[in-house]
Amino acid sequence: MSEENDRILEILLNFIDKIEIACFDVKKSIAELKGVAKPIIPEETFTVLKWQSEKGPILGDYEVAYKNQNALENWQHAYNILKENNSVISNPFHLEGYQYRYWIYPEKYDDRIFRKKLSEVKS
């Protein structure tokens, strides 16, 4: 492929990502208006990813899903949800019934998603 074709594909993928985020916002707004109690984003959106165990001095045991080790469509969809919800470690994403909390670290990594079991969270 030429450099020009690569650039066109990159623009198209960015456009599709923005449409996906807009669709998520519309679904979320409709669910809020209808008073939907169940999660509008099933946890399977995240559990289908391949996770690797990690351990850190502050977090203890946690897991990471790397972009290059997952189906791009699944990984990007999950990443977009977390990005749209500003889901960072201090504001992790989880809905009622989830077993894990999920977050990204966009200032440092744009190729990984993090998770930790909710029961292991110290509040």
Q: What is the pLDDT of residues 19-30, one digit of tens each?
A: 877 777 777 777
Condensed to tens digits (0 to 9), the pLDDT of residues 89-103 reads 999 999 888 999 999
Structure tokens given for 114: 């993090």
- Domain assignments of the chain as residue spans, ordered by start: 3-120
What lies within 8 Å, CB to CB, of 110 at 6+ separation is 67
Q: Which of 7-16, 19-28, 61-70, 84-93 has the highest mean pLDDT?
A: 61-70
Distances (CA, A) of 5 to 30, 38, 70: 37, 42, 24
